[in-house]
Amino acid sequence: MPFQIAGLTRRSTLTAGALAAFASLLGSRLAFADEKAVMAEIKKLYGDKPLGEGKIKLDVPEIAENGLVVPVNVEVESPMTEADYVKAVHIYADGNPQPGIVSYSFTPACGKASAATRMRLAQTQNIVCVAEMSNGALHMAKANVKVTIGGCGG
Amino acid sequence: MVSRREFLQATAAAAAIAAASGLGPLGRAAAQQKLAQSDILRFDPLGTLTILHVTDIHAQLMPLHFREPSINLGVGPARGQPPHLVDAEFRAHFKIAAGSADAFALTSDDFVALAKTYGRMGGLDRVATLVKAVRAERGDDKVLLLDGGDTWQGSWSSLQTKGQDMVDVMSALKTDAMVGHWEFTLGAERVKEIAESAPFAFLAQNIRDREWNEPVFPPRKVFEKGGVKVAVIGQALPRTAIANPRWMFPDWEFGIREEEIQKQVDEARAEGAAAVVLLSHNGFDVDKKLASRVKGLDIILTAHTHDAMPGLIRVGDTVLVGSGSHGKFVSRLDIAIKDGKLADIRFKLMPVFSDAIAPDADMAALISKVRAPYAADLAKEIGRTDSLLYRRGNFNGTFDDLICEAMLEQRDAEIALSPGFRWGGTLLPGDAITWEAITNATAMTYPNCYRNEMTGAQLKEILEDVADNIFHPDPYFQGGGDMVRIGGMGYAIDVGKPMGSRISGLTHLKSGQPIDAARKYVVAGWASVNEGTQGPPIWDVVRNHVAARKTVSIRPNDAVKVSGA
């Protein structure tokens, strides 16, 4: 199992249901991060290294059933040997006040590079995952999660 | 892009032979030909296995009118494709003559005139007659009866008995398996209680408990019929926890779980299933996308979106079936198996014309029995209608207009919001508005009619959000029913635009003034998914309004301006 390193802040901005009509996410006045803020976080860790595609399987729901606890599963393709393994996985959300969700470190002893957690999402946004391989290569994957008001289901 | 080859398999006898030739009112009389029970049942049998499918009955035990939508827009790849066709386009696509019995059953224009010719549809005693006839013809051991869900909700008696009336009737019908959506609004405990004791299987591969991620219900069941192993995989509405109150089943998670469906298919094949069926409550467009991505599904029996189609829709090697709603139709699929694989399918959407089909005596007696405690209340006339009252349509329905009008007046509100539910019967001009008619459009477990304030900006955000649930070009991101209905406010919608920019021109109808984003408006609405919502049940609000009016007239609603379709 991977262990979770002292995390980046996971902060929620879910405002209390403002409207009785719907499980509402409306009415928030907090400042949200954006794609640039996520890229800035990645740059802090890895500078201008290129971000490749592939290798990462990022599994998030298309629509969050509960914005307070949205499941995220990530698995990175790797033999996980001394010569070739996944060193770290970082997950970001580009629509929360703080973009960092969680970072995981792995060793070859982990056997496979997979992790699952739950995150709070304030609004519809992209989840970005970056994997650092033992040879220094970086991979990135992105998925959109919709956070919607409830009700009105036919 | 995966190709979406679609074709229509010719349907058997019930489909009118005449092509859609634009018959005018004079031609209509000639086309009008009532079907007899034998016409409805006529079928050239195939193979050794028959699947019967009913879905979205919404607890309608008795025959009723249900008008199909006159606006049913498809977006993205679904645009202009069945089932997103209405009236003349629908008839042209499926080769149905205007004015025919099928035209009445499947399209909306000329509904009032045709209703007088063809009468009500549905009634589970009539459905029982069809099911028994097919079983008698094929042999009990060759017929599988599957229910696509939304069966235990939608009537006063089902609400009062917590679904027991429907469970009794569907058990007597010898249903083999079902899936769920509105069922879950009876609460997790009640659903588990029924699922564990009912004689039919309650299947759901996509419901997991939050803590351990374990399946709450069996994901699939293998049946042996006509010497053929058939695997039925159950799929509940993936968006139940968003569309309906999550607090009623707080420990469950849903989702589409496409990869898990693939696993179920592969396991079923490994166990020797010659045919694999997805009994789905995804909704048609979601199932169409799913069919292009999951391999090895022979048949998807669709539900949720209430689409009735007299032909199969093919996506790759999978066929999709749309069996309508409210007991109006029973789908029959005869299946031939060769070398352990599905070789051929023959399909017919059997319309349940209640005047043509003799009620099954045993089922009629059971229905009378379960309705008896409520029969006197249900028959009570509250008022009458001068107008056609119907529910379906993307943006409004006259029955919803009546509900919104009731909320505006009874709750002294400036604006009323009513959810875009697809269930509830249709009343013809001159019909009595009975307690049954009111509760058929309102009976559910979170009926409180709230009254509070919302700003103009909040109202716009609600409309944007609901619109995205319907008009997101990727069906996997769609969540809801039809558009929320609005009383007292008009708006314009461009369905082709992205989230956040579809809605404009919000207008307060009474004053003719634009809606002020910063101003607070008094809003009444019902069916809130929030726990503890305060207010009288919506059926009392509607009853009081109808009783006060005595006769209801609904003017044509042109408050929603639609573009981009």
Convert the pLDDT of each residue in B58-88 to its tens digit: 999 999 999 999 999 999 999 999 999 999 9
Q: What percent of chain B has pLDDT over 90?
A: 92
Residues in chain B: 565
**Separation between Cα atoms, residue A47 and residue B110, nearest integer Å:** 68
Percentages of chain B per state (helix, strand, coil), in multiples of 5: 30, 25, 45
Question: Coil, strand or helix: which one is A41?
Answer: helix
Q: Which of A59, A144, A152 to probe by mutation at the B interface, max B CB count within 10 Å? A: A152
Please indicate if any CB of chain A lies within 8 Å of the CB of B423. yes
pTM: 0.91
Q: Are strands A86-93 and A100-105 parallel, antiparallel or unpaired?
A: antiparallel
Confidence category of residue A22, pLDDT binned at 50, 70, 90: very low
Average pLDDT over every residue of B261-267:
98
What integer pLDDT is reported at residue A17 of this predicted model? 29
| Residue pLDDT, tens place only, B197-243 | 999 999 999 999 998 889 999 999 999 999 999 999 999 999 999 99
Confidence category of residue B32, pLDDT binned at 50, 70, 90: low
Please indicate if any CB of chain B lies within 8 Å of the CB of A151. yes
**In the predicted structure, residue B8 carries a pLDDT above the cut 80:** no
Which CATH superfamily, name and number, covers B48-62+122-353+360-369? Answer: Metallo-dependent phosphatases (3.60.21.10)
What integer pLDDT is reported at residue B4 of this predicted model? 32
| Distance from the A41 Cα atom to the nearest Cα atom in chain B, whole angstroms | 27
Contact B561, B493 (CB under 8 A): yes
Which of B540, B527, B557 shows the shortest CA–CA distance to B406? B540
**In the predicted structure, residue B19 carries a pLDDT above the cut 50:** no
DSSP B383: E
What integer pLDDT is reported at residue A11 of this predicted model? 30
Contact B108, B70 (CB under 8 A): yes
Which CATH superfamily, name and number, covers A3-145? Answer: SoxY domain (2.60.40.2470)
What integer pLDDT is reported at residue A32 of this predicted model? 79
Q: What percent of chain A has pLDDT over 70?
A: 78
Instruction: Please answer yes or no on whether B528 and A21 come within 8 Å at the CB atom.
Output: yes
Average pLDDT over every residue of B320-331:
98
C-alpha angle B103/B278/B144, rounded to 5°?
A: 75
**In the predicted structure, residue B15 carries a pLDDT above the cut 90:** no
Return the residue matching tokens 């992790």.
A115
Tokens linked to B410: 């009874």
Please indicate if any CB of chain A lies within 8 Å of the CB of B239. yes
Instruction: Please answer yes or no on whether B480 and A20 come within 8 Å at the CB atom.
Output: no
Please indicate if any CB of chain B lies within 8 Å of the CB of A16. no
Which of B433, B301, B382 shows the shortest CA–CA distance to B544? B382
Average pLDDT over every residue of B171-179:
98
Helices and strands, counts by H and E, chain B: 17, 25
| Distance from the A46 Cα atom to the nearest Cα atom in chain B, whole angstroms | 33
Contact B531, B247 (CB under 8 A): yes
**In the predicted structure, residue B509 carries a pLDDT above the cut 90:** yes
CB atoms within 10 A of CB B417: 30
Please tell me whether the peptide bond between A99 and the residue prior to it is cis, using omega within 30 degrees of 0.
no
What integer pLDDT is reported at residue A41 of this predicted model? 94
| Distance from the B466 Cα atom to the nearest Cα atom in chain A, whole angstroms | 8
Question: Coil, strand or helix: which one is A62?
Answer: coil
Confidence category of residue A150, pLDDT binned at 50, 70, 90: confident
Name A28's Cβ contacts closer than 8 Å, sequence gap at least 6.
Answer: A13, A15, A122, A123
Contact B458, B479 (CB under 8 A): no
DSSP B184: G
What integer best gives the mean pLDDT of chain A?
Answer: 81
| Distance from the B421 Cα atom to the nearest Cα atom in chain A, whole angstroms | 4
Confidence category of residue B364, pLDDT binned at 50, 70, 90: very high
Instruction: Please answer yes or no on whether B246 and A27 come within 8 Å at the CB atom.
Output: no
Average pLDDT over every residue of B120-148:
98
Q: What dotted CATH number matches B377-563?
A: 3.90.780.10
Alpha-helical segments (H) within B98-244 = 101-106, 111-118, 124-138, 156-160, 164-172, 188-197, 240-243
Provide, as residue numbers in chain A, all residues whose Cβ is less than 8 Å from the Cβ of B241. Answer: 65-66
Instruction: Please answer yes or no on whether B462 and A63 come within 8 Å at the CB atom.
Output: no
Contact A149, A25 (CB under 8 A): yes
DSSP B40: H
What integer pLDDT is reported at residue B21 of this predicted model? 38
Amino acid at B261: I
Partner-chain residue, chosen from A63, A149, A154, that has the shortest CB–CB distance to B477: A63
What integer pLDDT is reported at residue B24 of this predicted model? 44
Would you list the domain boundaries of chain B? 1-33+65-119, 48-62+122-353+360-369, 377-563
Provide, as residue numbers in chain A, all residues whose Cβ is less than 8 Å from the Cβ of B424. Answer: none
Average pLDDT over every residue of A63-89:
95
Contact B48, B227 (CB under 8 A): yes
Average pLDDT over every residue of B373-388:
98
Q: What percent of chain B has pLDDT over 70?
A: 94
Which of B69, B60, B58, B83 shows the shortest CA–CA distance to B6? B83
Contact B345, B334 (CB under 8 A): yes
Return the residue matching tokens 């020797």.
B272
Contact A57, A85 (CB under 8 A): no
Q: How far is CA B65 from the centre of its chain?
A: 14
What integer pLDDT is reported at residue B481 of this predicted model? 81
Amino acid at B137: E
**In the predicted structure, residue B189 carries a pLDDT above the cut 70:** yes
Tell me phi and psi for residue B541, to 5 degrees.
-60, -45
Average pLDDT over every residue of B300-308:
97
Element (H, E) at B461: helix B456-471
Which of B356, B400, B423 shows the shortest CA–CA distance to B159? B423
Name B382's Cβ contacts closer than 8 Å, sequence gap at least 6.
Answer: B433, B434, B435, B438, B543, B546, B547
Instruction: Using CA coordinates, name the residue in chain A closest to B458.
Output: A26
Q: Which of A19, A66, A145 to probe by mutation at the B interface, max B CB count within 10 Å? A: A19
Please indicate if any CB of chain A lies within 8 Å of the CB of B293. no
Average pLDDT over every residue of A106-115:
96
**In the predicted structure, residue A48 carries a pLDDT above the cut 70:** yes
**In the predicted structure, residue B261 carries a pLDDT above the cut 50:** yes
Average pLDDT over every residue of B139-161:
98
